[in-house]
Amino acid sequence: DLPSLAKAFADYFPIGAAIEPSHTSGLKAELLKKHVNMLVAENVMKPDAIQPTEGNFTWGNADQLVAFAKQNGMEVRFHTLVWHSQVGAWFFKDSEGKPMIDETDLAKREVNKKLLLKRLDTHVRTIVGRYKDDIKSWDVVNEVIEPADPDGIRASDWYKISGTAYIETAFRAAREAGGLDAKLYINDYGTDNPAKRDRLYELIKEMLGKGVPIDGVGHQTHIGIYGPDIADIIESMQKYSELGLDNLVTELDMSIYAWNDRRDYGAEIPDEVIKLQANRYRELFEAFKANKDLLKGVVFWGIADDHTWLSSFPMKRTEAPLLFDQQLHAKPAFWAIVDPS
Ligand code: XIL
């Protein structure tokens, strides 16, 4: 009988998984109930899922996920109040339906900015208000750092219209609606990369200086079997903890390909690849355990290889980034972290 992942890590941190509503029944649900104590919506809490058009809030899928978690004694964390992707285009259109980014008149740009921030404020307060008793951990903004863009902030519509005011507005509204026990995270990928890590650090410092309530950094941690260095992942957590922030691993998976490799193993994943993956998972979790004071939880982006975003990104191909295989059986990587000796 397989040991439970969540129980194996009970003395360290909660173990989570991102799921779709369909995973709340059948074999997948049984696997989740046994192994995880934290759930995240892979898609159904994103802006375009919750408020596809202005004022039209659609709660059904999100409610279902929260109910499943409650029935099974699991925590829920929210992903994500703000993102440049999977967000309704209506947010960024002016009162005449024209894209706000096309506006050249300065006075009108100011009006548009106010309108956008007002919409954002409503979005955040409505959602946080609804779930504040059930959800204590929130991705407030997602992927706002882009070192290659001007000022190091992603040149999204949010930024082009409001500068960094949207980040401020989102955190302040979330704090007001959620209260002090809502943990508010800024979430991003590649946080081990020095350019990204440092720009994120500067942004957070600036925001904290203005009294913007940021509690923690969410590290997506979409990594691969060949990199990045585990030492860099931990170093970045240490750096943010110096600012008094929590760290959370929010979207862990481990691609079996190098990041720039466009091969497809198809049905024949080499044994040494699966072994390499197990060893790297072992090292990663040993490092997480050794740094448990910095780390509030580890959430996988999925639970088994039958369902992973990586099998369609960056291309359609066989992927196997998780601890359970296509048949929901434990892989060597599972045993490597549950029984590392
Ligand atoms: C992905 C989902 O897994 C896919 O189903 C969807 O089509 C696109 O988004 N970073 C994030 C997540 O913050 O929201 C993304 O999720 C994966 C990358």
**Predicted confidence (pLDDT) per residue in 15-24, tens digit:** 999 999 999 9
Pocket of ligand 1, candidates 19, 301, 312, 322: which has the most ligand atoms within 8 Å of its Cβ, to mutate?
Answer: 301
Check if 192 has its Cβ closer than 6 Å to any atom of ligand 1: no
Model pTM score: 0.98
Contact 77, 139 (CB under 8 A): yes
Check if 142 has its Cβ closer than 6 Å to any atom of ligand 1: yes
Domain boundaries, the chain: 5-338
Distances (CA, A) of 74 to 112, 234, 339: 41, 26, 24
d(CA 332, CA 2): 13
CA of 309 to the centre of ligand 1 (A): 7
Check if 311 has its Cβ closer than 6 Å to any atom of ligand 1: no
Check if 162 has its Cβ closer than 6 Å to any atom of ligand 1: no
Q: Round the average pLDDT of the chain to a whole number and report it.
A: 98
* pLDDT tens-place string over residues 249-301: 999 999 999 999 999 999 999 999 999 999 999 999 999 999 999 999 999 99
Q: Return the bridge partners of 253, or none.
A: 222
> Which element (helix H / strand E) includes 173?
helix 165-178
Task: Provide CB contacts within 8 A for 9, sequence distance 6+.
Answer: 15, 289, 298
Size of the chain, expressed as the number of residues it contains: 341
Instruction: Please report which confidence band the pLDDT of residue 60 belongs to, taking 50, 70 and 90 as the band edges.
Output: very high
Check if 220 has its Cβ closer than 6 Å to any atom of ligand 1: yes
Predicted local confidence at residue 113, as pLDDT: 98
Contact 218, 188 (CB under 8 A): yes
- Taking the mean position of all CA atoms in its chain, how far away is CA 316? 22
Predicted local confidence at residue 341, as pLDDT: 87
**Annotated catalytic residue: which of 42, 75, 251, 319?**
251
Instruction: Please report which confidence band the pLDDT of residue 72 belongs to, taking 50, 70 and 90 as the band edges.
Output: very high
* pLDDT tens-place string over residues 32-50: 999 999 999 999 999 999 9
Active site residue 110: no
**Percentage with pLDDT > 90 across the chain:** 99
Check if 139 has its Cβ closer than 6 Å to any atom of ligand 1: no
Predicted local confidence at residue 338, as pLDDT: 98
d(CA 211, CA 229): 34
Average pLDDT over residues 204-222: 98
Whose CA is closest to atom 1 on ligand 1? 309
**Percentage with pLDDT > 70 across the chain:** 100
Predicted local confidence at residue 149, as pLDDT: 97
Both tokens of 110, joined, read 């100011």
Predicted local confidence at residue 90, as pLDDT: 98
Assess whether pLDDT exceeds 90 at residue 184. Answer: yes
267 or 78: whose pLDDT is higher?
Answer: 78
CATH of 5-338, one of 3.20.20.80, 2.40.280.10, 3.40.630.30, 2.40.30.30: 3.20.20.80
**Rounded to the nearest 5°, which phi and psi values hold at 165?**
-60, -30
Nearest ligand 1 atom to alpha carbon 20: 5
Q: Could you tell me where the beta strands, DSSP code E, fall in the chain? A: 15-19, 38-41, 75-78, 135-142, 183-188, 216-219, 222-224, 246-255, 295-300
Predicted local confidence at residue 190, as pLDDT: 98
Locate tokens 């350019």: which residue? 195
Average pLDDT over residues 148-175: 98
CA of 308 to the centre of ligand 1 (A): 9
User: For 215, left (φ over 0), alpha (ψ -120 to 50), or beta?
Assistant: alpha
Both tokens of 69, joined, read 């978690």
